[in-house]
Amino acid sequence: MQELPWQSCDNPWNTEKCFCNYSLTDTTNLTSAVTEFWERNMHQLTDGLEEPGEVRWPLVGTLALAWVLVYFSIWKGVEWTGKVVYFSATYPYVMLFILFFRGVTLPGAVDGILFYITPDFNKLTRSEVWLDAATQIFFSYGLGLGSLIALGSYNTYNNDVYRDSIIVCIINSCTSMFAGFVIFSIVGFMSHITKKPVKELAASGPGLAFLAYPQAVTQLPMSSLWAILFFSMLMMLGLDSQFCTVEGFVTALMDEYPLVLRKRKKIFILLVCLVSFVIGISNVTQGGLYVFKLFDYYSASGMCLLYLVFFETVSISWFYGADRFYDNIEDMIGYRPCGWWKLCWKFFTPLICLGVFTFSAVEMTPLTLGKYVYPLWGQVIGWFMALSSMILVPGYFLFMFCVTKGNIKQRWRKMTTSSEDQKPSEREEFGHAGGVGEAPV
C-alpha cells in the first residue's frame, strides 16, 4: 500500500529540518514531516494575517465539495435531511468503535487514557479552560446557534421534547467522553514512540485532528487505511454539524418571509450555500489559516455564544416567565418536568454564562496561532465580527423602544410583556412539519 504524503521527508515541500523518526529525543530545531505537510504543502502558510497570499485551489475544491454535499443534504426539506442523518450520524459511531479497539491495543495507550481521565484542578484558574468548555457544550448541543429551535419546530405539538432533550444530552456527553478515549489512546501511543510526556503531545483544535492524529497514523501498519477511516469520520461529523446549522438558518428566514421564500426554497438554499462558499474562500488562501482562527475565536464561539445564551435564558425565564414556560411544556407533553430546570433557567445558567464571560473578558490575552501573535488591528477585526451578532440584542431593544408608543414605563411594559399563547392549528402544524418547501401559506 502506498505511503502517506506526510509519512516521509522526501517530498518537494520538505526542508532540511524535517524529521520523520519520532523516536528522536531532541527535536528542538527540527520540524516533523506532518507539520511541514500541513504548513508548507497544504496551506503554504505565510508569516501572518497581513500576508493573505494566493488562493490555494486544491483547498477551494474541497471547500466547494463540502458545500455541494451540504446543499444536496438539505435541498428537499427536513424529511430528506432526516434520511441523510441516518447515515451521516451513524457512520462516525462505527468508525469510533473501530478506532477505539485499534487504539487501546497499542503500546502506551493506557498512559494516554490515564492522562485523559485524571483531572488537573489547577487549570480551573485559567479563563480559557472555562471558555473552551462552554464552547464545547454550546457547539455539541447546538445551543445559541438557532438550529435546535428551527429543527424542533418541525415536531408535532405533543411531541415529548423533554424526553428527547434528556436522551440527546446523555448520548452527546457519552459520545464526547468515548471519543476522548479514542483520541488519547493514540496520543499515549505517540508518547510511547517519542518518549515524550503525553502533556506535550496533547494538542487542541485543528492541531489534534490534523497534526497529532495523522502523525500517530504514520506509525501504524496499513497507515493509509487508518487515515481514510479517520478523515472520513471527520468529514461526516463536519457535514452533519454544518447542514443542521444551515437548515436552521434557512428555516428561520423562510418562516419570517414565507410568501417570498417558501416557493423558491431550492434556489434560496443554493444562494445561501454560494454566499457561504464565497466567504469561505478567505479561509483557503495561503494566509487563510490566520483568518480561520479569527472566525473560530470571535465570530461564533466562546464569548459571543455566552453573551447570546445569557440573554436567551434571561428573556425566557424572567420576561416570558419560567412558570409560564413550564405550563407550555406541560400542555405539550402532558406532564410537568422536574423543578430543577426552573432553577437552572432562572439562576444557574445565566450566572454561569455571565461569570465565564466576565472572567474571560478580564483575563483576555492576545489571540495566537502557534508562535504567531495577532496584531492589534487583527484583533479589532475579530471584535467587529463578534459584535456583528452581539450588538443585535441591545440594537433591537433600542429600535423597539423608539418605535413603541407611550411614556418610558408604558414602553417598558409593552416590550417585556408577551402576548397570550396560541396553540397552533392542525393545518399550521401539518404544513410546517411537512417541510418548509411544501408548507401551505
What's the mean pLDDT when you consider all of the chain? 85
Distance of CA 410 to the CA centre of its chain: 41
The band of 203, judged by pLDDT with boundaries at 50, 70 and 90, is low
pLDDT tens digit sequence for 2-12: 788 888 898 99
pLDDT tens digit sequence for 245-291: 888 888 888 888 888 888 888 999 999 999 999 999 999 999 999 99
Give CA separation, 357 vs 127, 342, 363, in Å.
9, 22, 10
Task: Give yes or no for residue 241 having a pLDDT over 60.
Answer: yes
Number of Cβ atoms within 10 Å of the Cβ of 253 = 16
- Lowest-confidence range among 194-198, 262-266, 373-377? 194-198
User: What is the secondary structure of 228-279 as a DSSP string?
Assistant: HHHHHHHHHHHHHHHHHHHHHHHHHHHHHSHHHHGGGHHHHHHHHHHHHHHH
pLDDT tens digit sequence for 378-436: 999 999 998 988 899 999 999 999 999 888 888 888 888 876 666 665 545 544 544 43
User: What's the pLDDT score for residue 1?
Assistant: 57
Residues 6+ apart with CB under 8 A from 74: 80, 81, 84, 243, 246, 247, 250, 269
Cell readout for 101 is: 479497539
User: What's the pLDDT score for residue 214?
Assistant: 86
Q: 290: closest CA among 354, 368, 355?
A: 368
Task: Give yes or no for residue 43 having a pLDDT over 80.
Answer: yes
The band of 142, judged by pLDDT with boundaries at 50, 70 and 90, is confident
Query: Residue 331 is which amino acid?
Result: D
Radius of gyration of the chain (CA): 24
User: What's the pLDDT score for residue 425?
Assistant: 56
- Lowest-confidence range among 72-76, 179-183, 286-290, 347-351? 72-76
Q: Which residue has the higher pLDDT, 137 or 272?
A: 272
C-alpha distance across the termini of the chain, in Å: 57
CA distance 21 to 16: 14
How confident is the model over 192-203, as a mean pLDDT?
80
Cell readout for 183 is: 483520541
Task: Give yes or no for residue 84 having a pLDDT over 90.
Answer: no
CA distance 330 to 207: 46
The band of 83, judged by pLDDT with boundaries at 50, 70 and 90, is confident
The band of 305, judged by pLDDT with boundaries at 50, 70 and 90, is confident
CA distance 206 to 212: 9
Q: 224: closest CA among 22, 2, 6?
A: 2
User: What's the pLDDT score for residue 433?
Assistant: 46
